Amino acid sequence: MSVDIRSSTAAVPEDSNSILIDGSKVKSKFGHVAKFTSSEDNISNDDELYPTPIGKISQIYSSCDQQIDNPDYFDKYFLNNQFIGLNKEELKSYINNNYWKRIRWIVGISYCVLIFLLFVGAIISILFSPKCPHKSKLHWYEKDIIYDIDIQMFRDSNRDGHGDIKGLHEKFDYFEKNFIKTILFRSTIFSNQDKFDLLTINPQVANETNLQNFRKILHRKDMNLMIDLPLSSTNDINGSQWYGNIQPLSNKIKNTCEENTLNLACRYFLSYGRLPLDFNQLEIVDEAEIRLRYWLSTQKFDGVRVDLPLEFNEETGLYNISYKTIHQWNFIKNDIEKNTKTKLILYDIPFDLNNLITENDLHKKITHPVIYNQSLVNAKQLNQRIQSFKFNHLPVPKFWQFGSLRIDDEIQNNLSKQSLLTMAMLFGGTPVVLYGEELGLEQKKSRVMLWTPDKPSGGFSSCVTTDCLRLFSLYNIDPSKTNVKREEAIHGNEQDSLLILFRYLAKLRRSESFQFGLLETGYDVETNIFWFIREAAGFRGYIIVLNLNEKGKEINHLSLHELTNYLIPKSISYEYQWPKTYFQTSNKTHINSDNLFLHPQSISIFSWKSKLIQPNILFKKAKNHLANQ
């Protein structure tokens, strides 16, 4: 048998049907490669599954020589080589084999144990991993500043010497800069030419179309609108004319001050300057409800501010608070809320009548002054002011007013406007800010909002007629001392810019700790320092320190960490200081609270990262520790 040896330089046959001939050997330039045989009878199943010993290779070559000349062999074993699974008998042999049974049990049990451990681990990680801090859901009136506006004194757009709603619209950017989201119209918006009916708008201020357009614009900007409704009183000193009807009241209201100046009705008259209506009279009850529904439902206002309703007791001859009327008004509000968003009924009660309110629900819906005292106020008195609510089993107020001079309430003391503003904005709840208070305007002396230093009206109006000039002279306008433009001046004296402080506080109070955090107060008699902490679990905590010492006194060197009974950590960050910044650091730099200098008549705000222990637990432990000493 001749052997056909082909060198590595030979061309590979291009014919796809060419196959190796019987006994052919393949060689490359590296040497002999293989020799094939086509005898499939000599190849057992064991030979296919296991490697062939070296001694049997020659036998395979011989068998290949006999089979390679069969063309079907190549097609069967090389071109159509497919996977062939186990047959039934082979599969049963594996199933019944004890060795493979143990393997399957081990794998199955291990898989189940692994799944169980993963499930247990997931539960443990959920229980012990840091949780997202809880955020209390607040209504719009619990987190926004309420800006109290007399439209006729805010901005004149048509040069007639009277403010109007279009002028208010021109100042939308001012509201946005100051983070003001709720506007409250004072009752001066109503017409008082023919009758004061609490329905008809003064045409000099706005018409129905202007009012509706303004409300829609506010709602598109996610802002809210409220209105003053003095439903519970009349400005007729004769006690017969009122808002509900052209005809006089069937039962004339008596001025009880002639008999006893200490009774509620007389105190009411002296505080409001208006006589109280008797809500035992059905006509008064009906007309009041009509106006309440009109503004909350028909006009779609978000809230109203009303005065305190009273009712006359025939047996005693005295007036009492009409809680029946208050509950009925709340029922009307709740009924309207079924088809719209949350509404607010805010009660405007003079400061000297606040102590008459003992019902918690009503207590939460009235505005409170930061401090009553009209004399020298020290740190201890400020702390007693907050603690007095707890002693009387009343919640901390939800609405605050600030200001040394308001329209109807005078509170004059040694506290700076900056200190009063800081407390009203950061105590918690909602500050009710009268227009111009952010500038330091004294409302009884100058009721016109001042925008620029330009005379004669300080940017309130561009009217220069004789009538306007005479009107402006009655307003006692002096824009040289304070105005919006001056307060916004970049190079102005920061110590005199109450507006800059107001904007900072308005932004700061949007933090979670000021929105729904706990309030803890304290003081130090020796240093005359008052402090309060605002902290919510899981969020950054804050401490506000007010040094009430008079200017010129020595600087206090103290440990704020010890002063607060260790409620704050030693490592704190600087946030803000008034009137001058003594900490030349950013709020990312740590300050040692155990070693601080605090200047007289200063406001300092510091912060720290969220603690591992919840604030309420920490405050409780600190109080128990002090009680046990």
pLDDT tens for 106-118 read: 999 999 999 999 9
Among the listed residues 482, 487, 492, the one whose alpha carbon sits nearest the alpha carbon of residue 503: 487
Label residue 351 by pLDDT band (50, 70, 90). Answer: confident
Residue 477: pLDDT over 80: yes
Label residue 44 by pLDDT band (50, 70, 90). Answer: very low
Among the listed residues 554, 556, 552, the one whose alpha carbon sits nearest the alpha carbon of residue 530: 556
Computed from CA positions of residues 249, 251, 252, 256, in that sequence, does the dihedral angle turn out positive or negative? negative
Residue 33: pLDDT over 60: no
Residue 629: pLDDT over 70: no
Task: Please tell me the distance from the alpha carbon of residue 393 to that of residue 360, in angstroms, as a whole number.
Answer: 9
Contact (Cβ atoms closer than 8 angstroms) between residue 23 and residue 65: yes
Write down the mean pLDDT value for the chain.
80
478-491 pLDDT, tens digit each:
888 889 998 888 65
Residue 77: pLDDT over 90: no
Label residue 588 by pLDDT band (50, 70, 90). Answer: low
User: Which of 16-20, 128-132, 389-393, 548-552 is the least confident region?
Assistant: 16-20
- DSSP symbol at 78: I
Answer left, alpha or beta for residue 20, where phi above 0 means left and psi between -120 and 50 means alpha.
beta
Tell me what the mean pLDDT of segment 561-581 comes to. Answer: 84
| Structure-token pair, residue 304 | 């109203």
pLDDT value for 314:
86
Q: What angle do CA 423, 426, 428 make, to 5 degrees?
A: 110
For helices 417-426 and 498-508, angle between their N-to-C axes, nearest 10 degrees: 10
Label residue 34 by pLDDT band (50, 70, 90). Answer: very low
- Note the Cα 43 to chain centre separation in Å: 83
Q: Find which of 350-359, 386-395, 541-550 is predicted with most confidence, using mean pLDDT.
A: 541-550
Tell me what the mean pLDDT of segment 125-131 comes to. Answer: 75
pLDDT value for 425:
93
pLDDT value for 130:
63
Label residue 297 by pLDDT band (50, 70, 90). Answer: very high
Residue 396: pLDDT over 60: yes
β-sheet bridge partners, residue 188: none
| Structure-token pair, residue 153 | 């004194």
SS3 263: coil
Residue 194: pLDDT over 70: no
User: Which of 188-197, 331-340, 505-514, 578-587 is the least confident region?
Assistant: 578-587
Label residue 315 by pLDDT band (50, 70, 90). Answer: confident
User: Which of 38-47, 328-337, 368-377 is the least confident region?
Assistant: 38-47
The pairing of strands 541-547 and 602-608 is antiparallel
Answer left, alpha or beta for residue 31, where phi above 0 means left and psi between -120 and 50 means alpha.
left
- DSSP symbol at 611: P
pLDDT value for 272:
83
| Structure-token pair, residue 430 | 């909602």
Answer left, alpha or beta for residue 370, where phi above 0 means left and psi between -120 and 50 means alpha.
alpha
Tell me what the mean pLDDT of segment 219-243 comes to. Answer: 87
pLDDT value for 221:
92
pLDDT value for 596:
87
pLDDT value for 16:
43
Amino acid at 459: G
Residue 135: pLDDT over 50: yes
User: Which of 41-45, 450-454, 471-475 is the least confident region?
Assistant: 41-45
496-532 pLDDT, tens digit each:
688 999 999 999 999 999 998 989 999 999 889 999 9
Task: Please tell me the distance from the alpha carbon of residue 385 to that of residue 393, in angstroms, as a whole number.
Answer: 13
User: Higher confidence at residue 355 or residue 42?
Assistant: 355
Residue 234: pLDDT over 80: yes
413-459 pLDDT, tens digit each:
678 888 889 999 999 889 999 999 898 887 666 789 999 999 888 99
Residue 156: pLDDT over 90: yes
User: Which residues, including other chains, have CB under 8 Å from residue 527's CB and lie 6 or more apart?
Assistant: 379, 547, 549, 556, 558, 563, 598
User: Which of 187-191, 252-256, 528-532 is the least confident region?
Assistant: 252-256
pLDDT > 90 in the chain, percent: 34
User: Higher confidence at residue 425 or residue 134?
Assistant: 425
Residue 22: pLDDT over 80: no
Residue 154: pLDDT over 60: yes
Label residue 461 by pLDDT band (50, 70, 90). Answer: very high
pLDDT value for 40:
45
How many residues make up the chain in this entry? Answer: 629
Contact (Cβ atoms closer than 8 angstroms) between residue 227 and residue 295: yes
Tell me what the mean pLDDT of segment 520-549 comes to. Answer: 91
